[in-house]
């Protein structure tokens, strides 16, 4: 009688496929056919060539920006850094003087006056401009007829406010017996012309800056559109009035936008030049009351031809703006609230 175990083993051997010849000899298992391997290699080579072409195209599109960055920004910056340590008048070769230009600045009373005028302008004009922008943005955020026209009308001064023509008009309306002087006289305010008064001249430029609130207004509008309506409804249910809703809902929700606008407008205020030049006829007067930092830098570089001193002033301005920016970033942790970070301040 045959052994059942032997019969089962024979059946399994009959059903099992024969092992590959290479495997039976102990070699590696047979791979894909040579044609498939060749096609895979050819496909990989084509993919590498396509990536190289795309990379080359990307660098070609970036090349104008890279050349502009090197030739028009980075190169002049490095040149001005070198010139800030030299005595250079545009006509003779630079003469190395070390830190003399930087030491002379702190002994220059007009440089100190320009720093004071610029800081005063930044501290007054920037908050006024942002307050006007936020106030108008709150009004325009509500649906009303002709909303597009009002947005365009309020934004227009930001497009033309920095032009020379607006500076000339602004100087004309703030002179003696001009529009502003006559209007204030109707209310019994005999101030006289603002442009010729050292106590009031800077406020003509502050008013011009506040008038150009269109750009931050548009950014505030975008931020207000992102505030969930449910938060206002919940505050109304809790009995919060308009001021409480603004302070407890609107301001915390748009605080990143407020910080963004504050940062941009502060930097922009340090760089004011055109309006100050036109209103003061390029002199910074009267009595240096409108002698902004950039205006004094221009005077040193292109009137007195002390280009080394002007370069040192430019780098001091860069350091000052960088320091102010750093302070703003440090302090924003206590009042800027970001979505997803909880109710507490950052």
Model pLDDT for residues 189-243, shown as the tens digit of each residue = 777 778 888 889 999 999 999 999 999 999 999 999 989 889 888 988 888 888 9
* Contacts of range 137-140, beta carbons closer than 8 Å, 24 or more positions apart: 137/217, 137/220, 137/221, 137/224, 138/220, 138/224, 138/246, 138/250, 140/217, 140/221
* E-state strands within 90-211: 95-96
- What is residue 95's three-state secondary structure? strand
- How far is it, in rounded angstroms, from Cα 216 to Cα 157? 12
255 CB-near residues (< 8 Å, 6+ apart) = 335, 336, 337
* E-state strands within the chain: 86-87, 95-96
Name which of 278, 257, 275, 173 is nearest 215 in CA terms: 257
B/e letters for 3-18, b = 16+ CB within 10 Å, e = fewer, are: eeeeeeeeeeeeeeee
- How far is it, in rounded angstroms, from Cα 210 to Cα 173? 16
- Tokens 């970036």 correspond to 62
Q: Is residue 167 within 8 Å of residue 275, measured between CB atoms? A: yes
- How far is it, in rounded angstroms, from Cα 86 to Cα 149? 54
Name 95's bridge partners: 87
- Tokens 């603002």 correspond to 194
- Per the structure block, which two tokens stand in for 258? 């407020």
- How far is it, in rounded angstroms, from Cα 271 to Cα 332? 23
Q: Angle, nearest 10°, between helix axes 109-140 and 201-211? A: 30
pLDDT of residue 24: 45
Torsion of CA 8, 14, 19, 21, to 10 degrees: 130
Establish whether the linkage from the previous residue to 286 is cis, with ω within 30° of 0: yes
pLDDT of residue 343: 43
pLDDT of residue 340: 61
284 CB-near residues (< 8 Å, 6+ apart) = 114, 117, 276, 290, 291, 292, 295, 296, 299
pLDDT of residue 190: 76
- How far is it, in rounded angstroms, from Cα 39 to Cα 31? 14
pLDDT of residue 11: 45
pLDDT of residue 8: 47
Q: How many residues does the chain have?
A: 346
pLDDT of residue 32: 58
pLDDT of residue 341: 59
Q: Is residue 200 within 8 Å of residue 194, measured between CB atoms? A: yes
Residues of the chain with pLDDT under 70: 1-32, 340-346
pLDDT of residue 285: 84
């Amino acid at each position: 009688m045959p052994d059942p175990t032997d019969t089962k083993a024979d059946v399994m051997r009959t059903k099992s496929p024969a092992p590959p010849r290479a495997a039976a000899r102990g070699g590696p298992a047979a791979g894909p056919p040579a044609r498939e391997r060749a096609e895979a290699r050819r496909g990989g080579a084509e993919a590498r060539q396509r990536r190289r072409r795309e990379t080359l195209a990307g660098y070609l599109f970036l090349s104008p920006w890279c050349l502009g960055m090197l030739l028009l920004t980075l190169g002049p910056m490095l040149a001005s850094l070198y010139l800030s340590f030299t005595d250079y008048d545009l006509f003779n070769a630079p003469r190395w003087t070390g830190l003399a230009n930087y030491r002379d600045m702190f002994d220059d009373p007009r440089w100190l006056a320009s720093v004071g005028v610029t800081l005063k302008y930044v501290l007054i004009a920037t908050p006024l401009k942002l307050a006007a922008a936020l106030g108008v943005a709150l009004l325009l955020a509500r649906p009303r007829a002709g909303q597009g026209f009002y947005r365009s009308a309020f934004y227009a001064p930001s497009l033309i406010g920095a032009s020379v023509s607006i500076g000339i008009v602004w100087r004309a309306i703030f002179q003696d017996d001009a529009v502003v002087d006559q209007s204030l006289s109707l209310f019994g305010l005999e101030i006289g012309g603002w442009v010729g008064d050292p106590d009031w001249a800077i406020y003509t430029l502050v008013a011009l800056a506040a008038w150009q609130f269109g750009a931050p207004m548009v950014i505030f509008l975008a931020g207000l559109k992102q505030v969930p309506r449910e938060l206002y409804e919940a505050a109304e249910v809790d009995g919060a009035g308009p001021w409480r809703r603004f302070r407890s809902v609107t301001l915390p929700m748009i605080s990143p936008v407020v910080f963004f606008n504050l940062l941009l407008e502060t930097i922009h205020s340090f760089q004011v030049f055109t309006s100050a030049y036109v209103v003061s006829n390029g002199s910074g007067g009267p009595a240096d009351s409108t002698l902004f930092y950039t205006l004094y830098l221009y005077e040193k570089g292109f009137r007195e031809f002390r280009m080394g001193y002007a370069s040192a002033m430019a780098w001091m301005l860069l350091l000052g703006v960088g320091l102010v920016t750093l302070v703003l970033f440090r302090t924003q942790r206590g009042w800027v609230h970001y979505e997803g970070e909880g109710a507490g301040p950052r």
